[in-house]
Structure 1
Amino acid sequence: MKAVDSTANWEAIAAKKQASLLAAIPPEWRIPAELLPPVSKDDISTFPESSGWFTVDELAITSSNAVELITRLASGELTSVEVTRAFCKRAAAAHQLTNCLSEIFFDRALETAVRLDAYIAREGKPLGPLHGLPVSLKDNFNLVGLDSTVGFTSHAGHHAEEDSVLAELLRDKCGAVFYVKTNVPTAMMIAESVNNLTGRTVHPMNRKLTSGGSSGGESALIAFGGSVLGVGTDIGGSLRIPAACTGLFTLRPSVGRFPTGRCRSGLPGQEAVKSVNGPIARSLADIEYYCRAVVGRQPWLVDHECIPIPWRDSMAPLLPASSGPLSEARKLKIGVLWHDGMVRPTPPVSRALRETVDKLKAEGHEVVDWDVGKEHALGLQLLARMFIADGGKAVRAELEKTGEPWRPEMVFYAAATELGCSDLWKLHLERRAFQQRYLDKWNESGIDAILCPTTPWAAVENGKFSHVGYTGVFNVLDYSCISFPSGVMVDKAIDLPFSDATGYKPLSETCKTVQGEYNPDIIHGMPVSLQLVARKLEEEKVIAMCKMIMG
């Protein structure tokens, strides 16, 4: 892909970048004009199966989960070249229909696949636990020779000179094949994936809806079938929000579990609340497999911020002394956060929460209300104050380089006032006190996990995502979280809007806006996700508990 001249006006840079992305798709993978769905067609998720453009083998490969493909790749039943080609083609289609990619490098991917096929033929064994599997990466993961713009026009054309630590580990020690990077919002600090450089990513099941942010390029790509396993980041919900919008699984790990070195940040130097990275996929088994693969490569040897904790197959607080199967595990004590004190979940999310609680009770688990008063509102305020502690200078500096305007979603940053060092230190003390109060409450209650919404919505129209309280608070706490599809689908006949007649009273002006904009007709049939939260560094436990809840 040709470099973009970042000395030009931002609009010219954006036009060149968008054109170069389309040019990177080879002619044979450009959707024929006669098959291209009209702009008016909202649901394009079934295009691969209904268009006749994909072969039976391509559909079978791209419809499989990661663990299935890895097994077949390791046995030699499938080659990396044929798997990579299938995902390249489907990713190309995904981008043409949802605008989900920020970098396309299919030739490089196929060269890697050829080398991996030669390796397994020569050595008789796979290179690593992800041998030959195409893995998509969020835009901010550096790969040599490619952009990592994080949504700024000023970064276009300034190619990375070194790979991120995680990318090196996944490729060199696990055997992954990289083929695309995915779209993000400006500075990765908007809950929808929209920026002035590459534009807006939309939801494949309904292009009037958002795929979330900031890892929304990943969620759209995976939901369309253009990737089987992707890696995103999360600083306030940036993995969980897009996963919830599209009905996928994701894990938000605690700081130090996975390597973050040599990645590009939208707010470089901001460490009051740290960004983490994690997998996003269509199955929980794929999430767990990825975690084992990465932690099993001892990432603490290559990233000084990684904590040297091997993957723990059974955590004592969850499983019985006999370490029997999960079906023999002791019953859980779950705290249910029905709302966060700021915004009530919309009707389908409330229904999914009720039905999941009823199921847990029927299975003998103990369920208690999780009421922490105004703590979540305080936690969200802390998050917001930490994000803008520099007075928005980091974002403003990048925008001014090319004359790029502020996105309307980022007025919060544009109007911010910089904190002095003394005030920042005081903010850190407030954060520490909040974290300790929450831990004390958790210990007093004896719960294993919190069950709550991931977002107030099952899905939301483009431009209307307005509350990150259900995710962002747990970034401040640094807790291990999973967003998972509950199995409930939005039903416009059942999930009627709240009203005075149903006893609804808004918790805030934002709550009033969220419920007022709720439109069951447009999100009918969408999957509803929930969030399961464990304490810090309990990734194994939260995955095991999610298995139990879904099982």
Structure 2
Amino acid sequence: MDSWKSIAKSKQEALKAAIPSEWIIPAHLLPSEHQTDVTSFPRQSGWFTDRELEILSTSAPRILAHLETGSWTSEEVTKVFCKAAAAAHQLTNCLSEIFFDEAIAQAKQLDEHLKKTGKPKGPFHGLPISLKDNFNIIGKDSCVGFTSLVNDPATYNSTLTDLLLEAGAVLYVKTNVPTAMMIAETVNNVLGRTVNPRNRKLTSGGSSGGESALIAFGASRIGVGTDIGGSLRIPAACTGIFTLRPSFGRFPNFQTRSGLAGQEAVNSVNGPMASTLEEITLYSKTVIDQEPWINDPKCLPIPWRPAEPKHRLKLAVMWNDGIVTPTPPVARALQETVNRLRQAGHQIIDWAPTGHHEARQLLQRKFVADGGKSVRELLAPTGEPFREEMRDYEKATEIGVHAMWQIHLERNTLQKEYLQRWNASGIDGILCPTTPYSSVEHGKFAYVGYTGVFNVLDYSAVSFPCGVKARKELDASHPSHQALSDIDDRIQKDYNASAVDGMPVSLQLVARRLEEEKVLMMTGVILQAMSAERKAKL
């Protein structure tokens, strides 16, 4: 057996062995392979008690309130989320590291602290929080999909890891990612593929697809992922949950592992993923209130700035990006959302995708500027091959420093022109698709342009489920579609209305750089308008 294959096999076996026997799903309760939606498993299997289900369905702010008063213990809450995470992994293959025993021991210490002092340790006291694989935790692997990094435990914590621990959070799992975290689906040669708990025939997205699967299943209230081209927003959209892509410097990202270490032409950022907007806002404010700039030299010293709700927003809608047309469910969801916003009194104007083609090309050139050396050097020690999804890295040619500087100049010009156009329009934000898909079958996610352009611009963005679901009877293929590009032609031909039937559809709301508070506020205003419209129809 090849070295890389034996390493992968032993890692998978070790992960399986880390699940206690009492949390192995009994064979008679295992969903059939033909059952695509497993999100109902906790409620319908009978394997979880009513008390456990109550805890899993309680939002993070309310869990924290119970923990602070001592009416719930962190030990009990942690055990419930560990059990749920064990189930999620068995059904979706979403985890990369399991450390339940340590988490429960940590929870007991937090309970003792509360008992002795009468005060919580910090604002996240006793709350289980899940982390994407690339966040370093001392003694745990951060293999980011490479067999050469298996059994190479971290010797230091990421800055965010320390912040969460100091705030009283309980860390219990890390979640699966694609190779180098540079694929829009979560699949690698170490642990294989993570599937979507809402439909296991569909992708959970990438690169934070382990996080999105865990949260959509209900086994984490708040998780943390990262985003360099859409790696928070794509998986959130594929699984119908919320996320915030912040601008660089707002949240601490120091000492995390990268598949393209040292690549800073476009910065990776991290942000929260959760089932509700309330939990995204709670996490964001809490982390910033901890003044992360004290310990992260690249964090900006910007305190949390509450944004008052704006009753009449001026939003630009981008119907397509000039390269790829949204698939029918996404196009319909965007149209329905715009209609409801107009009915609620918000001003909507059209937004031309000027600069988007150039931004997409810039992003692609930046990622392979080293000629694929970073990836190749991580594959080589074990003889691990390039995956098909990484062929652009395998074929890339390294460019020189001068050529890279010219890319930076192009980026700077694009950023300035986009900002000038934004300011001249007087808009509050841009509403557009997060991806062309509601979700898509494994191996078919082919376009990250809708997210990647805002990484180049470094704008704040939220991906949110808009309340619309794909319906095969309403979302047939676009009639007589005139393709905008070759990739558009491929995506529309691949579209299968039956495959995505019933999947939630997400949209993306974008604000300018460092406007995290504003984009969260605006998302709440939009959701309120959507909710009011639905109630009016009842």
Normalising by structure 2, what TM-score? 0.97
For the residue of structure 2 that corresponds to 1:341, the secondary structure is: coil
1:16 paired residue number: 10
Deviations 1:256-287 (A, max 9, x none): 00001111011000000000000000000000
Partner Cα separation in structure 2 for residue 67 and residue 212 of structure 1: 27
- What SS class does the counterpart of residue 46 from structure 2 fall into? coil
Is it true that 1:474 corresponds to 2:474 in the alignment?
no
1:173-188 correspondence runs (5 A) = 174-188=167-181
Match of 2:280 in 1: 287
The alignment yields a C-alpha RMSD, in angstroms, of 1.0
Superposed displacement of residue 330, structure 1: 4.4
Kept in 1: contact 2:293–2:299 (CA 8 A): yes
CA–CA distance in structure 2, aligned partners of residues 72 and 351 of structure 1: 41
SS in 1 for 2:466: strand
- Which residue does the alignment assign to 1:495? 475
Secondary structure of the equivalent of 2:430?
A: strand
Which secondary structure does the structure 2 equivalent of 1:487 belong to?
strand
Q: Does 1:139 pair with 2:119? A: no
SS in 1 for 2:15: helix
Q: 1:453 — aligned with what?
A: 433
SS at match of 2:435: coil
For structure 1, which segment, 388-397 or 31-40, has the greater mean C-alpha deviation from structure 2 after superposition?
31-40
Letter in 1 for 2:361: Q
Cα distance per residue 1:511-542 (max 9 Å; x no partner): 11111111111111110000000000000000
Equivalent position of 1:539 in the other structure: 516
Q: 2:255 aligns with which of 241, 258, 262?
A: 262
Residue type at the aligned position of 2:279: D
1:8 Cα offset (Å): 7.3
**Secondary structure at 2:206 match in 1:** coil
Decide whether the 8 Å contact of 2:81 with 2:219 is kept in 1. yes
AA paired with 1:527?
A: P
Taking the aligned partners of 2:218 and 2:121, their CA distance within structure 1 comes to 25
Cα distance in structure 1, aligned partners of 2:387 and 2:2 = 19
Counterpart CA distance in 1 for 2:2 and 2:64 is 44
Give the structure 2 partner of residue 237 of structure 1.
Answer: 230
1:486 aligns with 2:466: yes
CA shift at 1:129, angstroms? 1.2
Contact 2:320-2:353 at 8 Å conserved across structures: no
Q: Secondary structure at the match of 1:457?
A: coil
SS of residue matched to 1:34: helix
Which residue matches 1:249?
242
With 94-103 and 329-338 compared, the bigger mean Cα shift is at 329-338
- Residue 508 of structure 2 aligns with an amino acid whose one-letter code is Q
AA of the residue aligned to 2:527 = M
Q: Which runs of 5+ in 2 are unaligned?
A: 529-538
Could you tell me which of 329, 339, 347 is aligned with 2:328?
A: 347
Distance 1:221 1:313 in 2: 30
SS in 1 for 2:107: helix
* AA at the equivalent of 2:9: A
Three-state SS of the structure 1 residue aligned to 2:28 is coil
Query: What is the CA–CA distance in structure 2 between the aligned matches of 1:13 and 1:184, rounded to whole Å?
Result: 17
What amino acid sits opposite 1:203 in the alignment? N
- Could you report, residue by residue, the CA deviation over 1:422-442 in whole angstroms, capped at 9, with x for unpaired residues? 101111111111111111111
Q: CA deviation at 1:128?
A: 1.2
The secondary structure found in structure 2 opposite 1:162 is coil
Counterpart of 1:217 in structure 2 is 210
Cα deviations by residue, 1:314-361 (Å, 9 ceiling, x for unpaired): 3xxxx4xxxxxx3xx341110100000010001110111011111111
**1:190 aligned onto 2:183:** yes
| Identical-pair percentage | 59
Q: How does 1:301-312 map to 2 (within 5 A)?
A: 301-312=294-305
Any residues of structure 2 matched to 1:251-400 within 5 Å, and which?
Answer: 251-314=244-307, 319=308, 326=309, 329-373=310-354, 375-400=355-380
Amino acid at match of 2:114: I
- What amino acid maps onto 2:188 in structure 1? N
2:57 to 55, 63, 73: 63
Secondary structure in structure 2 of the residue aligned to 1:265: coil
Q: Deviations over 1:382-436 (max 9, x none)?
A: 0010000000000001111101011100101110010101101111111111111
TM superposition shift of 1:372: 3.3
Instruction: Tell me which amino acid in the other structure corresponds to 1:10.
Output: W
Q: Offset of 1:38 from its aligned partner?
A: 2.4
CA deviations on 1:479-502 (whole Å, 9 max, x unpaired) are: 0000000000111111111121xx
Task: Tell me the secondary structure at the aligned position of residue 434 of structure 1.
Answer: helix
User: In the alignment, which residue of structure 1 is the partner of 2:486?
Assistant: 509
* SS of the residue 2:27 aligns to: coil
Task: Give the match for residue 29 of structure 1.
Answer: 23
Matched residue, 1:417: 397
User: Within 2, Cα distance between the matches of 1:330 and 1:530?
Assistant: 20
Residue in structure 2 matched with residue 407 of structure 1 by the alignment: 387
Quick one: distance in 2 between partners of 1:438 and 1:49? 47
For residue 34 of structure 1, report the CA deviation from its aligned partner: 1.4
Instruction: Read off the aligned partner of 2:95 and give its amino acid letter.
Output: L
Cα separation, 2, equivalents of 1:330 and 1:90: 40
Counterpart amino acid of residue 314 in structure 2:
K
Q: Which amino acid aligns with 2:31?
A: P
**AA matched with 2:177:** V
AA matched with 2:227 = D
Which residue does 2:533 correspond to in 1?
A: none
Question: How much has 1:363 moved relative to structure 2?
Answer: 1.3
Tell me how far apart the structure 2 counterparts of residues 77 and 515 of structure 1 sit (CA, whole Å): 53
Return the letter of the residue paired with 2:319: W
Code of the aligned partner of 2:207: S
Distance 1:442 1:264 in 2: 34
Q: After the TM superposition, which of the residue ranges 14-23 and 508-517 deviates more from structure 2?
A: 508-517
Q: Distance in 1 between matches of 2:377 and 2:31?
A: 40
Aligned residues: 528
Q: Which amino acid aligns with 1:218?
A: E
**For the Cα contact (< 8 Å) 2:240–2:505, is it kept in 1?**
yes
- The whole-number CA distance in structure 2 between the counterparts of 1:442 and 1:74 is 44
**Aligned AA (2:500):** I
Three-state SS of the structure 2 residue aligned to 1:148 is coil
Query: Using the alignment, how far apart are the partners of 2:94 and 2:464 within structure 1?
Result: 22
3-state SS of paired residue (2:243): strand
For residue 37 of structure 1, report the CA deviation from its aligned partner. Answer: 1.6
TM-score, normalising length from structure 1?
0.95
What residue is the counterpart of 2:412 in the other structure?
A: 432
Instruction: Pick one of 492, 506, 512 that aligns with 1:529.
Output: 506
CA shift at 1:78, angstroms?
0.6
Q: Deviations over 1:126-163 (max 9, x none)?
A: 11111100000000000000000010000000000011
* Separation (CA, whole Å) in 2 of partners of 1:370 and 1:388: 30
Q: CA deviation at 1:64?
A: 1.5
Moved more, 460-469 or 67-76: 67-76
Give the Cα–Cα distance (whole angstroms) in 2 for the partners of residues 430 and 83 of structure 1.
50
Partner Cα separation in structure 1 for residue 303 and residue 490 of structure 2: 45
- The separation in 2 between residues aligned to 1:463 and 1:162, in whole angstroms, is 35
